[in-house]
Structure 1
Amino acid sequence: MNTNHLFVAEAIRNRRTVKRFKLEPVPESLILELLDIAVWAPNHKLREPWRFALFVEEGKQVVVDAIIANAMKKRDPEQLMKIPAFLTVMIEEDSRQKELEEDMLAAGTLIQNFQLAAWERGIGVTWLTEPFTYQPGFRADVGVKPTEKLIGLLQIGYPETVPPAQPRTAAKHKLTIVRSS
């Protein structure tokens, strides 16, 4: 009997969005290893539409300054600098709607793969898509090219605390079954 499905289901159910991190840095080699796992996300015609930028050590100041300059609500720069790493995930904007949507979905799947692989290693991730991430100033400040779309800003680190699970609506309450025409 194949029990791998139990591990996948457990990882999906147990993963949490972590908002409080320990100060301990996550090794860049480990983040790269997790990205190499994440790139196995399904993507149409193997376009591999993603690109990444990792901000660590003093490089985090780039992201912190961009958040402070573009966020609508006040942020504490000292607290933001305590986040061990920031990772941006971008795709090339495609003028064809179908391809753009496929690429966005693929990049979202890549981020979920990254979160699950990180969780397996004891690393927490917060996937931010806050209003400031859509601001042209923020995008430019963190190196998103004018021809790219920012899919997410990830905060990465070892969890200081793990939040409890939030309830989910059972799929049966959102499912329509069609048995005949």
Structure 2
Amino acid sequence: MNLSKTIIERRSIRKYNGTPVEQELIVSLLYKAASLYVTEGTPQWRCIYYGTYESRQRLAVSITAKLKESKLGKLVLNKMIDFLTKKVAETPVHLVFIAESAENQRQSDENYASVCSIMQNFQLLGWEQGLGMLWYTDPIIQGKSFFKEIGLQEGERFAGILNIGYFDKMPRGRRRRIPAEQKWTVIGENDWKHSDTLQVTSQSVLDMLNQAIWAPNHGLRQPWRFIYVTNGKTKGKLQTLNRDISVPFLLVVAKEEADFHKREEDFAAISCLVQNFQLLAESKQWQVLRSIPEWIYDREQCKPFGIDPQERIVEVLELKGDDGYSNSVLAPPMVNITHL
């Protein structure tokens, strides 16, 4: 895979040509996507496969149930329901992704970050196979009927539906993203030396971020900013990682939106950005360790990094360059698929 090219050129696809998508291909890509997510723990997530016409019709009924409660005019409402029902039923495959429940917020966020990252891997792998996808989370579908259909349990988080199919026409190019340099803060020195060879520089990190920011997110919102930390003044803030912390690290920060749906979408987009970054880093044999440590939920511990009250740190990335490169998967990929 030409990773950088695929990340930048991938598009959301809304119109499919009706060519069947083999179930075996979907399952194979899911396992590959899970194996590309590097983690120390065992993320808890699951997906539901809708590949038959009957199952897609049932999904369509559950998706349109909330829409029927709308106060739109009857004519407009009926047209929307008919359009959406036909669209869902005729799309070759739908995959519904869910982050399973957890004991606390940090673990819940880990599960959610993992499923969003795996969805991004799946989209990239699918694009290489000529598969187009649309990541769909619109609140208008998120009603009781839909949640009952997918079996959403208390404490679980709906990550989205991937609509999947082959396509004939490539959409036009997307708008440019704001360069990472404009969302970039440095604490410490720009260029930092870990050993006799300079392995991680601010410019090399920025170059990689400017490819990684082509992560999927609704309306091309860019809710992230980056804090690159290279000195030891804040060393104590990372003790909970329980590993060598004499390396530069990157904090990926999100604006905390008041709207719950926007917050979840922004979290998902940042998880995809981080996954893009990690894949790009691995292709250059950098060792990048991503984590969601406990301390980021403590506002007092976040203050030294300049985190505003309306912001939160989403993930922490330790950047070890290619010194002792090892980015092997620390936990075997687990794929929990329900076929409906």
Aligned: 1:36 with 2:44: no
1:160, distance to aligned residue in structure 2 (A): 3.4
Q: From 31, 38, 46, give the equivalent of 2:41.
A: 46
Extract unaligned runs of 5+ from structure 1.
none
Q: TM-score, normalised by structure 1?
A: 0.88
From the superposition, tell whether residues 146 and 98 of structure 1 become closer, same or farther in structure 2 (CA, over 3 Å).
Answer: closer
Partner of 1:56: 51
From the superposition, tell whether residues 133 and 45 of structure 1 become closer, same or farther in structure 2 (CA, over 3 Å).
Answer: farther
Q: Which amino acid is the alignment partner of residue 169 of structure 1?
A: I
Q: From 48, 67, 70, give the equivalent of 2:66.
A: 70
Checking the alignment, whether the CA contact within 8 Å between 2:65 and 2:143 is kept in structure 1 is no
Partner of 2:221: none
Task: Report SS of the residue matched to 2:35.
Answer: coil
What's the CA shift string for 1:38-61, capped at 9, x where partnerless?
Answer: 112436433131111100122111
Q: From 148, 155, 170, give the equivalent of 2:163.
A: 155
Aligned: 1:123 with 2:131: yes
Q: From 89, 108, 112, give the equivalent of 1:100.
A: 108
Checking the alignment, whether the CA contact within 8 Å between 1:93 and 1:149 is kept in structure 2 is yes
Matches of 1:144 and 1:87, distance apart in 2: 14
What's the CA shift string for 1:9-64, capped at 9, x where partnerless?
Answer: 01101111101111111100000011011112436433131111100122111211
Matches of 1:133 and 1:65, distance apart in 2: 10
Task: Report SS of the residue matched to 1:169.
Answer: coil
Worse overlay, 170-179 or 67-76: 67-76
How does 1:82-101 map onto structure 2 within 5 Å? 82-101=90-109
From the superposition, tell whether residues 146 and 161 of structure 1 become closer, same or farther in structure 2 (CA, over 3 Å).
Answer: farther
* Overall identity of the aligned pairs, in %: 26
Checking the alignment, whether the CA contact within 8 Å between 1:26 and 1:157 is kept in structure 2 is yes
Matches of 1:153 and 1:145, distance apart in 2: 17
Matches of 2:105 and 2:38, distance apart in 1: 15
Checking the alignment, whether the CA contact within 8 Å between 1:63 and 1:86 is kept in structure 2 is no
CA RMSD of aligned residues (A): 2.0
Structure having the higher Rg: 2
Worse overlay, 124-133 or 68-77: 68-77
What's the CA shift string for 1:61-97, capped at 9, x where partnerless?
Answer: 1211111112356331123211111111112121301
Aligned: 1:178 with 2:203: no
From the superposition, tell whether residues 41 and 152 of structure 1 become closer, same or farther in structure 2 (CA, over 3 Å).
Answer: farther
Extract unaligned runs of 5+ from structure 2.
71-76, 190-232, 234-340
